[in-house]
Each structure stands twice: as C-alpha cells, then as structure tokens.
Structure 1
Amino acid sequence: MGQQAWNGRGKVTFDWRSADDAVLEAHFNPRAAVGDEAVEAHLGEYLAAAEAARESWPGTYDIAYGAGPREALDLHQPASGGNGALFMFIHGGYWRRFSKADHSFAVGGFIERDVTVANVDYDLCPDVTLDDIVAQMKACLAFVHAHAGEWGCDPARLFVGGHSAGAHLTAMLLADPASTALIAGAHCMSGIYETPVVRRISVNEEVRLDEAMASRTNAMIRPPARPVPMVVSVGGEEPAGWQAQSAGYAGIAETAGCAVERVTVPGANHFSMLFDAVSAGGRSFEAFAAKM
C-alpha cells in the first residue's frame, strides 16, 4: 500500500510493492542513497565523536546481559548521579554492522541533561537471525529494568530509543506486551519498520530474511501493545521510501493510542540525522528530552 511521508517539501506517497528492485535499493539502502564517499565521511565522524565521548563521559563498559559474544552494554552515569531517568540506546547498522563502541557519542546529550544511559550491543546477522536479535533486545530491556535501581535510576522512568535498525528493534519492544510494560517513552530515529522490503535489496544477503521471519519481525503490522509517548524522527533529505517508513509507523502508533511527535530534521540524511537525535539542541533530541 502507499504510505505518506513528510520531507519538508510537502507529503509524498511511496508504494514499494510496485517498485522494481533497483528503485528499492536506492530508497531502502542508505549507503546507496547517500553514496559511498559521503557515508565513509559520516562514519569517520561517528568514530571520532565516539572516541571523544569516551574520554569526556567515563562509563562502566561491557556489562553482560546475556551469554552471546556481543550481549553487553556500556553504562554512562552523570557525575551528579542523575535525575532518575534511564535511556537505553540501540545502535543501527541494518542488524549486520557496527557496535555500541561506534556509537558512544550517543550518550553525551543525555548525560548533559542528567540522564543515565545504557548503550547496548547485540549479535549481528548472519551469525544470528533477526529473530535472535529481537529476543536479545527483550532480554536486555528486562536486564536494564531489573538493575535500574542499583544504578540510581527509577525503573518507572526507563526510556528506549534507537537509530535505523535500532529504531526497528525499539518498535519490536513496544509491540511486545511484557517489554512495553517497562517502557516510559521511546524515540524511533530514522527507522526501517517494514521488514518484507528488505528481502528485495542487497542487505538481505547478510540479514537472510525469509518470508516467515520477515512477517514475524514486521513492525509495521505490530503496533505498540499499550500507549507510550514517543518521538518518530527522520532526516529531511532521506528518500521518499525511507520517509514513508517513519510516516507509516507513526500512524500505526497513533492508532494504537500513542501520543506521537513527528520530527523532520531539515537538511539531514540517514547518517547525519543521528547527531540531531542525540545532541542537546537538536530538534528531535529536544522533543524527546521534553518527555523524559
């Protein structure tokens, strides 16, 4: 079906089911949309910012929440001890790339606002399946909630958010009744929610979704299990197909009773918009911080 997308230039529609595979690659593979040279520049910015963040915001690293080689999190606490809020950040990478260490820069804005941050990792495709990753995130959320008190946080003020594939995993947590009961609010940052489309692009060579798994992990047909306040953000320069993902997911969340604030980051592509989402002063960051 066609879905509305907002991009700062008026609303558009995009029906991915009627598009050919080359068009889908351009709309749903961010590297193809942005270009290799620009992507590498953005990733260089990520790594430099992550290194600087680890120097500025000390943490407790590699706290295991499960038995998998990457089932661990880094905990960053404000020097003040925090205001009781706890944010669980889930990195992106289309479920097959990157790590929490690459995204240490995601903690800084929240630390500046006295929010404790759990920057979490997970095993990657194709070593595990997307079903496995969703299960890991459910276990991680339960672990973070169980330990919130000992970290000086209020378990009732546990917020979750993620970028790209991390936004999808956030949506899958919201769809699970046991998980969403633990979540006070969410920020879905430039997410891919409708997993069946992934089966038609090159990314699936590593993600390896079959029809059944794509259906099980399709967040676009799995609304939040209870009303949760949230921000759904997207870059203003992202392709229409990708923007339609955010518009579509925001719509099903609203239908489920969630108070959804939709935020477009002007001039931002898929990679650059993350800095807006995690940095004090960013349009989408401030929208989410106001809910914490």
Structure 2
Amino acid sequence: MKFKTFYLLSLLISCFTFQAFAQDKYNYQFVENVPYYDAGQDDYQRTQCLLDIYYPVDGKEKAEGRPVVVWFHGGGLTGGQKEIPSYLKDKGLVVVGVGYRFSPKVKVEGIIHDAAKAVSFIYNQVNKYNGDKNKFFLSGHSAGGYLVTMLALNPSYLEPHGMNANDLTGVISFSGQAITHFTARKELGIDEKQPTIDALAPLYWVRKDAPPLVLLTGDREKEMLGRYEENAYLKRMMDIVGHPDTKLMEFQGYGHGMTYPGFPVMLEEMQRILTEKNN
C-alpha cells in the first residue's frame, strides 16, 4: 500500500485513533529504569537492560485491561537509548520503552536475547501496570523493528522464558531489516551492501502461524539500503507460506525516519487487529 495523499489520510486516521484510544479518560504514571534481568549481572547489563513504563491509572474511568505496546528504539544495534514515543502517550495505552545492550560489546544474538527477556518480563508483569496480556503488541523503529520481527517469527527466543511467540497480539515494525541485520553481517566481515539471509534474518523464519504482522517503511527511493524491498520480500514470503495477516505500507515522500506518519497508522492497525481478534 502506497500513500500518495498522506496529509489527508493522516488527518482521517488521527481522528479515528483519537476516538479508539481516548486521551482524557485516565491519569498516567511513569516509572523509569526497571531492571528486567535478575540481580548478579555485569555492570554493562545492569545499566543497559532497563525498562521505562508509561501507563494509565484511574481517572474518569477505571484503568485496567489496557492494550500494551513494547517499544524498541533504533540505532543500528550499536547505539540509541530507550524511549517512550511522545505520540503514544495519553492514548490509554501501557507503553514500555526497552533498553538493551549494543554491538560490539555483545553479539547481535545476545541483543535479541535481551529483547526476548524484556518482552517476557513485562508480559508477566503487565497486570501490575493495568495492561492486558491479551492485547500485547511489539513495535520498534529500524533496529527495533528488526528485533520485534525476529522475536515474532523465531519462537525459540521467547520459549526459554516460558512465553509463546504466538501469544503476541500483533507486531508493528517501522523500517526494520528483513534480511540479516547489517551489524550481524559486520560481525562476519560482510559489507552492509552485500545482502545475506541466514538465521539472523527475519526472512529466514517465515511461518504461517505467526501473529499479525504490520510492516511500515519509508519511500523506496528514500529509504536506507533497500529497506522497502526487504520488507516487500518478507510480505511476499509470508503470503506464500499462508500467513493470513501480513500488511505492508510504504509512505511516499518519507525516508528512513518515518515514525510519524507511521504512528497514526500503527494505532489504526492495533485497533483493527483487536477488533478482528474479538469477532
């Protein structure tokens, strides 16, 4: 799907999502630097592997059973910091910003394991923050989009933590890599312009029984290193294996940093997935 008249579309989507995820029903609390590993880790893990949680509490309505978005920041798996995207605040959502370790201090495989530990931790704690594990979404931009698709498509990452990847309500990836991440290729001495698909590629793990998957990218002519085409290939292969709900959307005129206009579409897709799940 390619958005050509995006200003009008964004306006219409924003009107819908404000109704679906109302702003003024609740009060909100914010907790920072919640560790998701047990004590006894090394200093680097203790300082990086932390969560920020922004969540609704009682206001005009009782805050319970709210949808959850676990958000992974970008940065090439080599930098960045945990964040609560401002657009997702005050929408009646539990929003969790995840911090994780970076290459080259750890391998990409270790970063994915951090992501899996963080997701399973908040999944098991979600009631404490008025969230509902039956309305549990993963999302992230760039490196974050890569991490959430890896967790959704390769169940072996969440299984050791007692969580089934198919229990995820949905996954929304913002311009994530679908082939092997370029940082993983760098670990093997492969140039970032040399495409590779191996076990560290979401494409390697396409399967028909995965949770709903929404792939958002910037304009194919403005994106980073063929990012749209990677996601188009992932969409195609998911369709071929029989996955019933993979969507691909390209935002014409926007480059790699396309979180807005992506956020209004993300909320619309969350509402769609929740509605279809309950029908």
Q: Which has the higher helix share?
A: 1
Give the SS at the match of 2:273: coil
* Structure 1: gaps (5+ residues): 1-5, 10-55
Closer, same or farther in 2 for the Cα pair 1:94/1:233, shift >3 Å? Answer: same
Closer, same or farther in 2 for the Cα pair 1:224/1:209, shift >3 Å? Answer: farther
Give the SS at the match of 1:85: strand
Cα deviation code 1:158-195 (max 9, x no counterpart): 11011111111111101232341331101011011211
Give the corresponding residue for 2:78: 96
Closer, same or farther in 2 for the Cα pair 1:199/1:160, shift >3 Å? Answer: closer
Cα deviation code 1:203-237 (max 9, x no counterpart): x3xxx2468x9733111111257231221100123
Closer, same or farther in 2 for the Cα pair 1:150/1:197, shift >3 Å? Answer: closer
Which of 56, 62, 66 is the aligned partner of 1:84?
66
Which of 18, 34, 54 is the aligned partner of 1:63?
34
* Structure 2: gaps (5+ residues): 5-26, 191-195, 275-279
For 2:237, give the aligned amino acid: I
Q: State how far apart, in whole Å, the 2-side matches of 1:257 and 1:175 are.
A: 11
Trace 1:61-140 onto structure 2 (pairs within 5 A).
61-66=32-37, 67=41, 68=45, 69-80=47-58, 81=63, 83-100=65-82, 103-104=83-84, 106=85, 108-140=86-118
Closer, same or farther in 2 for the Cα pair 1:268/1:285, shift >3 Å? Answer: farther
Give the SS at the match of 1:162: strand
Matched, 1:269 2:255: yes
Deviates more, 1:173-182 or 1:229-238: 173-182
Q: Which has the higher contact order (CA 8 A, sep 6+)?
A: 1
Give the corresponding residue for 1:251: 236
Q: State how far apart, in whole Å, the 2-side matches of 1:124 and 1:88 are.
A: 18
Give the corresponding residue for 2:180: 195
Deviates more, 1:157-166 or 1:258-267: 258-267
Closer, same or farther in 2 for the Cα pair 1:285/1:151, shift >3 Å? Answer: closer
Deviates more, 1:148-157 or 1:175-184: 175-184
**Pairs aligned (count):** 226
Matched, 1:161 2:144: no
Q: How many percent identity over aligned positions?
A: 19
For 1:188, give the aligned amino acid: S
Closer, same or farther in 2 for the Cα pair 1:181/1:214, shift >3 Å? Answer: same
Q: State how far apart, in whole Å, the 2-side matches of 1:199 and 1:118 are.
A: 26
- 2:108 and 2:184 in contact (8 A); partners too: no
Deviation of 1:287 after TM superposition, in Å, equals: 2.9
For 1:90, give the aligned amino acid: F
Closer, same or farther in 2 for the Cα pair 1:195/1:218, shift >3 Å? Answer: same
Q: TM-score scaled to structure 1, two decimals?
A: 0.69
Q: TM-score scaled to structure 2, two decimals?
A: 0.72
Closer, same or farther in 2 for the Cα pair 1:258/1:171, shift >3 Å? Answer: farther
- 1:180 and 1:226 in contact (8 A); partners too: no
- 1:76 and 1:118 in contact (8 A); partners too: yes
- 1:180 and 1:224 in contact (8 A); partners too: no
For 2:30, give the aligned amino acid: G
Closer, same or farther in 2 for the Cα pair 1:225/1:139, shift >3 Å? Answer: farther
Which of 199, 203, 215 is the aligned partner of 1:232?
215
Which of 269, 272, 275 is the aligned partner of 1:290?
272
Cα deviation code 1:228-258 (max 9, x no counterpart): 1221100123257221111112223333514
Deviation of 1:265 after TM superposition, in Å, equals: 1.7
CA RMSD of aligned residues (A): 2.7
Deviates more, 1:244-253 or 1:222-231: 222-231
Q: State how far apart, in whole Å, the 1-side matches of 2:205 and 2:75 are.
A: 22
